[in-house]
Amino acid sequence: MGLASINEIIQRIISPQIRSLSAYAVPSSAGYIKLDAMENPYQWSNELRDAWLERMREANINRYPDPAAVGLKKQLAKVMSVPNGLSMVLGNGSDELIQMLIMAVAGQGAVMSPEPGFVMYKMLAKLLGVEYIGVPLQEDDFQLDMPVMLEAIKQHQPALIFIAYPNNPTGNLYHANDIEQIIQQASGLVVIDEAYAAFTDSSYMSRITHYNNVLVMRTVSKMGLAGLRLGLLVGAPEWIQEIDKIRLPYNINVLTQISAEFALEHHQVLDQQTAQIREDRTRLFEQLASFSEIQAFPSDANFILLRMPKDKAPQIHQALRDEHKILIKVLHGSHPLLDDCLRVTVGTPDENKAFITALGEVLN
């Protein structure tokens, strides 16, 4: 057996599902205006950085981190207004929480999500060998197609439904009545993914206790701490207890625990930045809407979905990248409802201006 080639051994022991996937690709971005990944573009002041680094002196990197991250959870509960009596499990990004949730139901039923939606639901389900069902949204406004959604729930009885609220990559909030119906009809768990909570006033956090089958997921990534990799899942203690069994014991490292706790003590700084981004989103949307040849979709997140003239999206994306050093995301080709679509993250006022100017040139 020692004489088999690497490829032969791979064929034999790596499953076809995994071999058929491609790794999550992230292009290098040095020297570009980065408007492709929904990051908060703002840095901290030197004073705040110094105070943070001073706090980091406490880090005992020779020891394992607090496995329960008690201090950090308290801060998160306070800043995110988690209702009393609910529990929380933390993930290395909410991506890890999505993975834990799917692992928890593996073998018991399918994972379902409206599409186009966040790609990790499908990707992680496939990686874990769990059946995944994507249910198409309405074509014109990306709202839930309720007859189709309810029929899919009835037919497949999914163990787990992910609802991104607001949705990525479309940016919209679904109608509350529709979500209510899904929660009522679902025989399994409904996870409301509020990755963009900082950019909208709508949330299910205060309503979790109204239901038996709802968890709310948040992340600190989009609010300005993407580098830390920290997500949280909130719900009834009975649910969280089960999910917590799947968590690797020390999944939130010491540096992240200390840094996130510090950042949340100074959450006003992040609040101010995200409020600025919300304001700039309005301006950016108006400017985009003034281009007659493209369509901009209203957004409750920190990005805007755009539809380009037919068959032009890849070429516009490339011209922005190569001629103007601006990175945005191509969605064309990722789902039939996203034909000709691109997605731009709201940046600083200067970055947004550079994008608008460049787009104007590229469209001409």
For the window 232-271, what string marks contact with ligand PLP as x by the rule CB under 6 A?
----------------------------------------
Helices vs. strands in the chain: H and E counts, helices first: 13, 13
Q: Is 193 in the site for ligand PLP (CB under 6 A)?
A: yes
Indicate which single residue of 40, 65, 118, 281 sits in contact with ligand PLP (rule: CB under 6 A). Answer: 118
Residues 194-213 that bind ligand PLP (CB under 6 A): 195
CA distance 66 to 267: 22
Residues 119-178 that bind ligand PLP (CB under 6 A): 164, 168
Q: Which of 281, 284, 276 is nearest to 224 (CA)?
A: 276
Residues with Cβ < 8 Å from 248, sequence gap 6 or more? none
Q: Which of 147, 162, 140 is nearest to 298 (CA)?
A: 140
Residues 17-76 that bind ligand PLP (CB under 6 A): 38
Based on CB atoms, which residue is closest to ligand PLP, 33 or 228? 228
Residues with Cβ < 8 Å from 128, sequence gap 6 or more? 99, 102, 103, 106
Indicate which single residue of 41, 171, 231, 235 sits in contact with ligand PLP (rule: CB under 6 A). Answer: 231
Do the beta carbons of residue 114 and residue 167 sit within 8 Å?
Answer: yes
Q: Give the range of 90-98, 275-283, 284-292, 353-361 binding ligand PLP by CB under 6 A.
A: 90-98
**Which stretch of DSSP H or E encloses residue 49?**
helix 46-56
Shortest approach of ligand PLP to residue 363 CB, angstroms? 27
Q: Which residue is nearest to ligand PLP (CB)?
A: 93
Residue 133 main-chain phi, psi, to 5 deg: -125, 115
CA dihedral over 275, 277, 281, 282, signed as positive or negative = positive
Based on CB atoms, which residue is closest to ligand PLP, 219 or 253? 219
Based on CB atoms, which residue is closest to ligand PLP, 79 or 289? 79
Q: Is 93 in the site for ligand PLP (CB under 6 A)?
A: yes
**Which stretch of DSSP H or E encloses residue 162?**
strand 160-164
Do the beta carbons of residue 94 and residue 217 sit within 8 Å?
Answer: yes
Indicate which single residue of 34, 80, 90, 95 sits in contact with ligand PLP (rule: CB under 6 A). Answer: 95
Shortest approach of ligand PLP to residue 257 CB, angstroms? 15
For the window 269-308, what string marks contact with ligand PLP as x by the rule CB under 6 A?
----------------------------------------
Q: DSSP 3-state assignment of 147?
A: helix
Q: How many residues bind ligand PLP (CB under 6 A)?
A: 13
Binding region for ligand PLP (CB under 6 A) = 38, 93-95, 118, 164, 168, 193, 195, 219, 221, 226, 231
